[in-house]
Amino acid sequence: MTSLNGVSGGVEKLYPDEAQEIDIEEIKKSLGPEEGIIERDEKGNVIDVIIGRSREEEEEEVFDTEIDPVPAKTDIIKALEAQATKVFGKYEKYQSEGEKQFIEELIQKYGDDYDAMFRDIKLNIYQHTAAQLKKKCQRYLKT
């Protein structure tokens, strides 16, 4: 049976081991760009400041690495890349028969007075704005 507030296993270390030697180069590698660690003595005075590598040093390392050449592409990959680079044209916008009839009724009643079309709540049941109605009428007149 377990008891509450008792030792559940393991040994608690009351005193840490003696000071271990720290490898400064290993710490510099673990620090990110523009990060640092302050090293202090027992009294809290600053002994040393260990600064990580700067962004420029990391960028130089990245740019200095050589890139392996890319192997030749197969015919299938070339065909797929060619297909992916083709720009598909915009789809053709069209007006439905219901929209054509709706616009035709508005044009017969109001001509090109888009503000009056906008205010007609019986014919303009979708409450299109004057600008939307103008575009729809222009598209209808083109066809």
**Tens digit of pLDDT for each residue in 11-45?**
777 766 666 676 777 777 778 777 888 888 888 89
Residue with tokens 């007006």: 95
**Tens digit of pLDDT for each residue in 108-123?**
999 999 999 999 999 9
Over range 57-65, report the average pLDDT.
75
Q: How much is the pLDDT for 89?
A: 67
CA dihedral 91, 96, 102, 103 (to 10 degrees): 30
